[in-house]
């Protein structure tokens, strides 16, 4: 079991951490996912690789928990980044800043953005995972990217606009 | 059309430029919007290229602590002598039956798609008497014999299964196991070790694709047997451990086969 964990721990932790937006919650979600895997391993049919099966299980586990949790605290997190980017061109390739901005997105936006832009799911797949219409997923994605842009460089785009007027 | 495009519109243009002709026209003539569009496009690319994160250092220890492995392993260690007066009698009987069925399945798993590799591993061991019913071709090809043919009803302590699965070369197992693990479990692990020794390593897959495919079939059979056994004893630590190991083995081989097929193209 330890060997399987070591082989797939980073992938599992990454997806749940990105979805959760919080270290402690992500750790808890990852543990839940692995324990579910341990208990459900007899259902693994070998149709896909273990990594794929585990990824799906972790994603579903995290989304189900976050959905229940979201009903309690679906409050948009408007806090600004601890360190703002002086130059967005640098910021967009700065992984730490991107990660911070992701954490500060409202949970609903973050889930769609993570599933689409980071994990490569289609809007149809996201619709099934989140139990929403594909059009809703698409709309949330564009809102999420717009919010990411603001978080990464608050006021930057406005300054650019003014310079053009 | 507004003076400048909203960020949401720019985002939509990244994914579906054809769906927004008016916005696209605006983009051609507006330097500020083009700059914002490029920034957002870079942001989207950077998001998709984010590295995997490091899991917590004590992640596995925390998970293991939440699993009933140690407690169940201790219980399993006492399994051959069932506590007929205890409160967990029925569970033990079910677990015992599951292990016996599992052992039978493992025997079948080793029997499926017998290896064609030549050499001492397959050539020096005699077919067991039980192979007579399986036909001469299988009997000749399977050095392990149909251990899975051992009727589960013959015993409740697994000794017959253990005996039928025991390595004929006298060795027990080179796998590191808890010292108090009952013999039936030890035998299962020794069989996994033997199976590993017979299959090609991932680095040898390209040189021996047929052996790799046979090995994959054997691993699939072991996974099926393990899954069926777990339906009766889902918390059995030994079977779960075994299944994890076989799945890891199959996963590694599957990846190696995939890489090999890409190289072949």
Residues of chain B with pLDDT under 70: 1-2, 68-209, 232-235, 237, 260-265
Question: A24 vs A2, A29, A119, B66, B154, CA distance in Å?
Answer: 22, 9, 21, 16, 51
pLDDT at A25 over 80: yes
Residue A14 distance to chain B (closest CA, Å)? 5
What's the whole-model pTM score? 0.58
B168 touches B219 (CB < 8 A):
no
What proportion of chain A, given as a percentage, has pLDDT over 90?
A: 54
Q: How many residues does chain B have?
A: 265
B247 vs A: CB within 8 A: yes
pLDDT at residue A134, as a whole number: 95
pLDDT at residue B90, as a whole number: 43
- Which residue of B3, B63, B196, B254 is the best one to mutate when testing the A interface, meaning the one whose CB has the most A CBs within 10 A? B63
Nearest of B6, B149, B8, B182 to residue B81 by alpha carbon: B182
pLDDT at residue B99, as a whole number: 60
The yes/no answer to whether this complex scores an ipTM above 0.85 is: no
pLDDT at A107 over 50: yes
pLDDT at A41 over 70: yes
Nearest of A154, A8, A23, A30 to residue A99 by alpha carbon: A23
Mean pLDDT of A124-137: 94
H and E: helices and strands count for chain B: 12, 0
B197 vs A: CB within 8 A: no
pLDDT at residue B229, as a whole number: 74
pLDDT at residue A125, as a whole number: 95
pLDDT at residue A147, as a whole number: 95
A35 vs B: CB within 8 A: yes
- Taking contacts as CB-CB distances below 8 angstroms, the residues of chain B near A92 are 39, 42-43, 46
Tokens representing residue B30 in the block:
């507006």
pLDDT at residue A48, as a whole number: 73
């Amino acid at each position: 079991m330890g060997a399987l964990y070591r082989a797939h721990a980073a992938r599992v932790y990454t997806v749940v951490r990105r979805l959760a937006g919080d270290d402690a919650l992500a750790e808890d979600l990852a543990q839940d996912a692995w324990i579910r895997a341990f208990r459900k391993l007899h259902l693994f049919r070998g149709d896909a690789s273990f990594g794929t099966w585990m990824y799906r299980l972790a994603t579903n586990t995290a989304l189900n928990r976050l959905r229940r949790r979201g009903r309690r605290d679906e409050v948009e997190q408007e806090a600004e980044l601890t360190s703002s980017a002086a130059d967005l061109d640098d910021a967009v390739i700065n992984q730490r800043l991107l990660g911070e901005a992701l954490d500060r997105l409202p949970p609903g936006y973050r889930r769609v953005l993570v599933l689409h832009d980071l994990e490569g799911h289609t809007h149809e797949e996201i619709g099934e995972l989140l139990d929403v219409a594909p059009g809703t997923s698409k709309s949330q994605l564009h809102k999420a990217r717009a919010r990411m842009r603001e978080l990464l460089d608050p006021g930057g785009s406005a300054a650019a606009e003014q310079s053009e007027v | 059309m507004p003076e400048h495009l909203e960020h949401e519109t720019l985002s939509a243009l990244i994914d579906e430029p054809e769906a927004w002709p008016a916005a696209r026209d605006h983009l051609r003539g507006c330097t500020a919007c083009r700059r914002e569009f490029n920034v957002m496009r870079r942001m989207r690319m950077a998001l998709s290229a984010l590295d995997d994160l490091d899991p917590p250092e004590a992640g596995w220890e925390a998970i293991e602590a939440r699993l009933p492995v140690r407690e169940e392993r201790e219980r399993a260690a006492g399994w051959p002598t069932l506590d007929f007066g205890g409160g967990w009698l029925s569970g033990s009987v079910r677990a015992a039956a599951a292990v016996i069925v599992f052992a039978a399945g493992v025997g079948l798993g080793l029997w499926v798609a017998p290896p064609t590799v030549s050499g001492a591993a397959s050539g020096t061991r005699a077919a067991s008497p039980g192979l007579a019913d399986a036909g001469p071709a299988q009997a000749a090809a399977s050095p392990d014999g149909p251990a899975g043919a051992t009727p589960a009803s013959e015993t409740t302590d697994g000794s017959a299964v253990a005996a039928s699965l025991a390595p004929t070369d006298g060795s027990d197992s080179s796998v590191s196991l808890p010292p108090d693990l009952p013999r039936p479990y030890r035998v299962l692990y020794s069989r996994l070790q033997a199976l590993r020794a017979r299959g090609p390593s991932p680095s040898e897959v390209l040189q021996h694709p047929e052996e790799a495919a046979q090995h994959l079939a054997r691993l699939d059979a072991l996974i099926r047997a393990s899954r069926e056994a777990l339906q009766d004893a889902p918390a059995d630590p030994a079977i779960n451990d075994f299944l994890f190991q076989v799945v890891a083995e199959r996963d590694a081989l599957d990846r190696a086969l995939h890489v090999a097929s890409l190289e072949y193209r």
